[in-house]
Structure 1
Amino acid sequence: MTSDDPAEASAAGDDQLLDSIGTAFSRLRRRTSSVPIGAPVARTDVRRDLLLAIVEESDGQLSVNAVAAAMGMERTAVSRLAGSCVSDGLVERVASQTDGRSITLRLTSRGHEVLANSRHQQRRAFEYITRDWDDGERLEFARLLHKYVAASNQHASD
């Protein structure tokens, strides 16, 4: 049975829209990395860039275990990824400032360069994908996305 009430029809459409958010996030992640703006982005590059961003945000205060938790990955997989980043000169292992027995990860200048390049590529992908949007739509989307990320960070620490 369908309703002739526009408010109910709108609410049903809103529910469908909200129910499809997870699918939209999955598609966004897959499609953004395949935008034709340069060399294709490999899955390992996506994980590497995530590791670099987490290490940068922590200001060199996170262990491999903490990075693994932040990435939602197994410690052994992150340990291998971190080892690869160390070998590539992107991060270095340093003694923790708070516990000398603990080892933390810190970005090298090369790691900062790679991360900056990745962010530049992400910006280019955003501009390519939204090339038909007006500036107001782009800025509003960016503001709302940052608001969403801030809220998710707040709830992650609850």
Structure 2
Amino acid sequence: MTSHDRAAASDPGDDELLESIGTAFSRLRRRTSSVPIDAPVARTDVRRDLLLAIVEESDGQLGVNAVAAAMGMERTAVSRLAASCVGDGLVERVASQTDGRSVTLRLTSRGREVLATSRHQQRRAFEYITRDWDDRERVEFARLLHKYVAASSRSDPA
């Protein structure tokens, strides 16, 4: 038996891979934050960074309720998180452009800097985790991950 045959025999089958995708996502979430890079993303910053990314994507059009729905979190928890981000100068509350009675969230320049730093750290973590991959594998994984994200956004309930 060649080394290729042994590797193929020990590799999980397609059905097993598909059945364990949820477990893989959970492990990825837990392990990425513990990658040994300078200034790793703290676990406490993950929700903050998610809020910042959602606010950035909405271009100041979402209030706390909509951000909570997008994050899949309770409104009160997101309200506290948003208040913390406001206090840290990362987000500002502004009157809605469509309804002056409601308030939306908008990134500040400091919020954009923090989000850019977080994304840079995520890139470094990706490079560390995939350090044994060749460039073609890294790009293919990134392409498929972006395709997966695009497909998931198409399946969002309207």
Tell me which residue corresponds to 1:31: 31
Give the paired residue count.
148
CA deviations over 1:23-79 (Å, ceiling 9, x no partner): 000000111111000234333200000000000000000000000000000000000
Give the match for residue 56 of structure 1. 56
In structure 2, what is the Cα distance between the partners aligned to 1:130 and 1:40? 16
Q: Secondary structure at the match of 1:156?
A: coil
One-letter code of the match for 1:111?
G
Pairing of 1:8-27 with structure 2 (within 5 A): 13-27=13-27
Detail structure 1 runs of 4+ shifted over 4 Å in the superposition.
Answer: none
SS of the counterpart of 1:149? helix
Identity of aligned residues (%): 88
CA offsets, 1:97-134, max 9 Å, x none? 00000100000000000000000000000000000000
Mark the runs of 5 or more structure 2 residues left unpaired by the alignment: 1-8
Aligned partner of 2:29: which letter?
R
Residue 128 of structure 1 corresponds to 128
- What is the rounded CA distance, in whole Å, between the counterparts of 2:54 and 2:23 in structure 1? 24
Verify the 8 A CA contact 2:61 2:104 in the aligned structure 1: yes
Give the letter aligned to residue 75 of structure 2.
Answer: R
The residue type paired with residue 80 of structure 2 is R
In structure 1, runs of 5+ residues without a counterpart are: 1-8
Tell whether the 8 Å contact from 2:41 to 2:118 is kept in structure 1 after alignment: no
**Deviation, structure 1 residue 13:** 1.5
What is the 5 A alignment of 1:17-96? 17-96=17-96
TM-score of the superposed pair, with normalisation by structure 2: 0.90
Question: Over the residues paired in the alignment, what is the CA RMSD in angstroms?
Answer: 1.4
Output the amino acid matched with 1:50.
L
How does the TM-score come out when normalised to structure 1? 0.90
Q: Which residue of 1 aligns with 2:137?
A: 137
Partner residue of 1:3?
A: none
